[in-house]
Structure 1
Amino acid sequence: MSKAFVKESDEAEDLEVPEVAAVAGFKNYMTPAGYRALRDEFEHLVKVERPRLVEVIAWAAGNGDRSENGDYIYGKRRLREIDRRIRYLTKRLESAEVVDPAAREATDRVYFGATVTVYDVQTETEETWQIVGVDEANPSEGKISWISPLAKALLKREVGDEVRVPVPGGVRVLEIVDVQYRV
């Protein structure tokens, strides 16, 4: 079926949609591990996935009618997704400022890259969070972005400080128990 009969266009799918919005006015801080992970993903996409997909698209294009060729249509769509991700990763890697937490002098003060253990006064539980870059944040792994409300409340504080963090249910009161800088 011709695209003239369907409301589809290749142009609509080519629109750039940021996966993690670049935060205007903030630097792109990253830990060495976060930088390596992004670089590894970039290299995998460029050296493995994209060339393999280009081969499939070329094979599918050689099969004749492209308008009803699922391999060709899906391949082109996936290629656009990969190219969009490659462009995004390129921009993030170029703007990255790698900060190695292990290189920081031992201190009880919280800075980027710190692994902070806090005691929640209300629930009487301890939590450990590492303050990392926007692209490497993953709360389920205990990694929070340095621009998150919790990290902002912890930054520049030190062991023994009590921190009040606004949350949807009110205010959490946390006491900083330990600060470490490790890889």
Structure 2
Amino acid sequence: MQKAPMTVEGEIALREELHHLIKEVRPTIIEAIATAREHGDLKENAEYHAAREQQSFTEGRIQDIEGKLSNIQVIDINKIPHGDRVVFGTTVTIINLDLDKTVTYKIVGDDEADVKACKISYQSPIARALMGKEISEVVVVKAPSGDVEYEIDNVEFI
């Protein structure tokens, strides 16, 4: 199985979430289940069933994170020779040539992607079009509304 690329920040965020779930959330749920059990009849005990459902969700998320962490390749952008070429982890400023609008994206792994935070997956159409290209090159991105031309304005290793 091929390792999924992830930035250092993405790995840190996953590890922090995992730590939080294991050290804080899990014990709280176990305590809630124990308290609900004390109330007697488990068949009609809503608190018990809610705590068990939360426990199931939390354990699933813990397994999901552990699985992801076991299958990632962390790419530290600071250890890559800097240049004008777009690579995984770079922050790219592009200009939509039709609208003359500038936007900046950081190219990250699938689990880190968050368009609102201007982080796009390396597998997204825009990122795939940009990868390997250099400053001032024009790329064409196939969009549902038609082809969109972007010029690479800047590439940052931050």
Q: Normalising to structure 1: TM-score of the pair?
A: 0.84
The size of the alignment, in residue pairs, is 158
Residue of structure 1 in register with 2:115 after alignment? 139
Q: Sequence identity, in percent?
A: 37
Residues 1:100 and 2:91 are matched in the alignment: no
Residues 1:82 and 2:75 are matched in the alignment: no
Residues 1:91 and 2:47 are matched in the alignment: no
Question: Could you tell me which of 15, 20, 26 is aligned with 1:44?
Answer: 20
* Cα distance in 2 for residues equivalent to 1:29 and 1:155: 14
Residues 1:165 and 2:138 are matched in the alignment: no
SS at match of 1:45: helix
SS at match of 1:166: strand
Residue of structure 2 in register with 1:174 after alignment? 150
CA offset at residue 26 of structure 1? 4.9
- Post-superposition, which runs of at least 4 consecutive aligned residues in structure 1 deviate over 2 A? none
* Cα distance in 2 for residues equivalent to 1:96 and 1:181: 20
* Cα distance in 2 for residues equivalent to 1:79 and 1:106: 45
CA offset at residue 27 of structure 1? 2.9
* Cα distance in 2 for residues equivalent to 1:139 and 1:104: 24
Amino acid corresponding to residue 46 of structure 2 in structure 1 = G
Residue of structure 2 in register with 1:72 after alignment? 48
1:135 and 1:152, CA in 2 relative to 1: closer, same or farther beyond 3 A?
A: same
Bigger fraction of residues in strand: 2
CA offset at residue 64 of structure 1? 0.6
CA offset at residue 164 of structure 1? 0.2
Residues 67-101 of structure 1: CA distance to partner in whole angstroms, max 9, x if unpaired?
A: 11111000001100000000000000111111011
Residue of structure 2 in register with 1:19 after alignment? none
CA offset at residue 176 of structure 1? 0.4
Residue of structure 2 in register with 1:20 after alignment? none
Residues 1:60 and 2:36 are matched in the alignment: yes
* Cα distance in 1 for residues equivalent to 2:133 and 2:3: 21
Q: Unaligned stretches of 5+ in structure 1?
A: 1-24
Amino acid corresponding to residue 104 of structure 1 in structure 2 = I
Amino acid corresponding to residue 86 of structure 1 in structure 2 = I
* Cα distance in 2 for residues equivalent to 1:28 and 1:181: 20
* Cα distance in 2 for residues equivalent to 1:76 and 1:119: 50
